[in-house]
Structure 1
Amino acid sequence: MSMPFYVSPEQLMKDRADFARKGISRGRSMVAVQYADGILLASENVSQALHKISEIYDRIAFAAVGRYNEFENLRIAGVRLADMRGYAYDRRDVTARGLANAYAQTLGTIFSSGGEKPYEVEIFVAEIGDSAAEDQLYRLTYDGQVADEHGYAVVGGAADVVASYLSEHYQEGCSLTEALALAVSALGRSTNERGETDDRVIPVKDLEVAVLDRTRTQPRKFSRIGPARLERLLGDRGPSTANPVEEGADHPPGTAATDASPDDPKDPTDQESGDAPPLQDPVAPPAPPPVAPPQDPSAP
């Protein structure tokens, strides 16, 4: 009879942590920045169908990096928990702290369990209050640890490089435009094979950005920022390096002429949720048919 292979608990936890960190680092970074009127969440996402940033409740947002199927299961579970708690008690009883604790218990149980692999995810749970001092931002790691962040936070990808850039340039009480420019610039920071910092310009169409805006009059404070509004807020950032071969000869890459064709339909995401669509002019009545002038009977 052969003896079973023994692995110490310390080595087992180390191997599971290395496995989760390696999977998370292969993805793109996610940035959360607090500004004067709320919290901004931004990430690079080339997929138009899969969202990394979503709404959970009236004032609460969820954002994650890693394996999509795993953090999507966590998001759905959070939505169900928030709906049940708000229905059974009161909507004010649904808080980001309660959801973060529930996520921490789930992630910690899965990580310490030997029956399944750990989740390769890192999560943001954000909630805005009536003032900036009441805003809450929680960062959860793959093993269930919870960190209460202030000002800014980064998960996934090259988190160290992005966080270093944010620590040097972040200013408390900045505007939405300043916070967005800072977040997008930080997401473009990366390191090359030699360990040197390498900057790039992320195309607007590859950005996923949403905000929790306390100035919105609707009870739901979550709002996505579409590509058209992103271009207005970011302004001219120079040529994009995403697709250097597909641009035409008339316009440099990254400009509005190459990003959107005049024949393309209007982007429906260029409108915040809850806002009324712009009014359109009524159809003008058709012009009357031309009438010939009267003729003089005495004329030859």
Structure 2
Amino acid sequence: MSMPFYVSPEQLMKDRADFARKGIARGRSVAVLQYADGIVFVSENPSQALHKVSEIYDRIAFAAVGRYNEFENLRIAGVRLADMRGYAYDRRDVTGRGLANAYAQTLGTIFSSGGEKPYEVEIFVAEVGDTVEDDQIYRLTYDGQVADEHGFAVMGGNTEAVTGHLRENYRPGSSLGEVLQLAVGALGQSDAGSRVIAAADLEVAVLDRTRSQQRKFKRLSAEHLASLLGERVGEEAGRHAAGDSTNPSNTDQSRNRDQEQPPVAPPVAPPVSPQPQQPPQPSDPVTPPEHPDVYPPVDPGDPLR
């Protein structure tokens, strides 16, 4: 009887952790920042159908990076848990801390189980409070660890470069436009250099404490996002759409060109003299046709018939 292959528990956990980290690093980064009126989620996501940021409950939002099918299962489970707890008890009993603990237990159980691979995901669970001090941001890793974040946090992609840029430039109490521009600039940082991310490739949502509705979650539209990032984006889009027709130099040149060149009359065709009509020639009744249609009668006594 052969002995089974032995792997130490430390090596097994290390291999599973390396596997999960490599999968998460292949995704694009997600940044969460606090601003004066709430919490903003910024992610580079060109897709219009698959969202990285979603609503969980009235004051709670969810953001994730990694495999879409895996963190979508976690999002659906969180929504069901929040709805059941709010229906059975009270809406105030649904908290970000309770959801973070439930997610931590699920991720920890999956990571330590040897029967299935670990989840290649990292998630944020954020809850907006009545004041900035009451805001809560929890970061959960693939192995079920929970970290309480303050100010800002980043996960996925090139985390070190994005976090370093935010650490140098983030200021508490900033407005939504300021933290949004800072987050977009930070997401464009990498070891190879910086790049500019277009507004169409961004997914941005906020938990706004100033909303009168009970639900504080709101996605920012493309027009609102462009206005927050600067009017330059809207001006360039309008100029390209109009074909640079608003350029004053082009307008003056076209106006002078129209004034210098007089209108040209269309050419007139010369009159055509009518041709005299000739009367039709009558056919000659005497001349037989070359190929008559009537053949001569056949003699009935002809032996060749």
With normalisation by structure 1, the TM-score equals 0.78
Shift of 1:47: 1.0
Structure 2 distance, partners of 1:102, 1:189, is 33
Equivalence for 2:138: 138
Picking from 234, 237, 242, the partner of 1:256 is 237
Are the aligned partners of 1:190 and 1:199 in contact in 2 as well (CA < 8 Å)?
yes
Structure 2 distance, partners of 1:35, 1:164, is 18
Are the aligned partners of 1:162 and 1:190 in contact in 2 as well (CA < 8 Å)?
yes
Equivalenced residue count is 242
Shift of 1:59: 0.3
Equivalence for 1:235: 230
Structure 2 distance, partners of 1:67, 1:168, is 30
Are the aligned partners of 1:40 and 1:209 in contact in 2 as well (CA < 8 Å)?
yes
Equivalence for 1:224: 219
Are the aligned partners of 1:31 and 1:43 in contact in 2 as well (CA < 8 Å)?
yes
- Secondary structure, aligned partner of 2:41: strand
Are the aligned partners of 1:32 and 1:40 in contact in 2 as well (CA < 8 Å)?
yes
Q: Deviations over 1:230-262 (max 9, x none)?
A: 110001578xxxxxxxxxxxxxx9932488x68
Shift of 1:46: 1.4
Structure 1 distance, partners of 2:127, 2:221, is 21
Equivalence for 2:104: 104
Larger helix proportion, structure 1 or 2?
A: 2
Equivalence for 2:115: 115
- Secondary structure, aligned partner of 2:104: helix
Is residue 93 of structure 2 the alignment partner of residue 93 of structure 1? yes
Structure 1 distance, partners of 2:221, 2:114, is 42
Q: Deviations over 1:20-76 (max 9, x none)?
A: 000000010000000010000000001111000000000000000000000000000
Structure 2 distance, partners of 1:152, 1:51, is 20
Q: Deviations over 1:113-145 (max 9, x none)?
A: 000000000000000111110000000000000
Are the aligned partners of 1:201 and 1:237 in contact in 2 as well (CA < 8 Å)?
no
Q: Which runs of 5+ in 2 are unaligned?
A: 243-305
- Secondary structure, aligned partner of 1:22: helix
Larger radius of gyration between Structure 1 and Structure 2 = 2
Shift of 1:202: 0.4
Counterpart of 1:208, as a letter, is E
Q: Which runs of 5+ in 1 are unaligned?
A: 193-197, 239-252, 263-300
Which runs of 4 or more aligned residues in structure 1 lie more than 4 Å from their structure 2 counterparts after TM superposition?
A: none
Structure 2 distance, partners of 1:35, 1:105, is 30
Equivalence for 1:33: 33
Structure 2 distance, partners of 1:164, 1:120, is 24
CA RMSD of aligned residues (A): 1.7
Counterpart of 1:100, as a letter, is A
Structure 1 distance, partners of 2:24, 2:232, is 29
With normalisation by structure 2, the TM-score equals 0.77
Equivalence for 2:297: none
Counterpart of 1:63, as a letter, is A
Equivalence for 2:45: 45
**1:11–1:254 CA distance, 2 compared to 1 (3 A):** farther
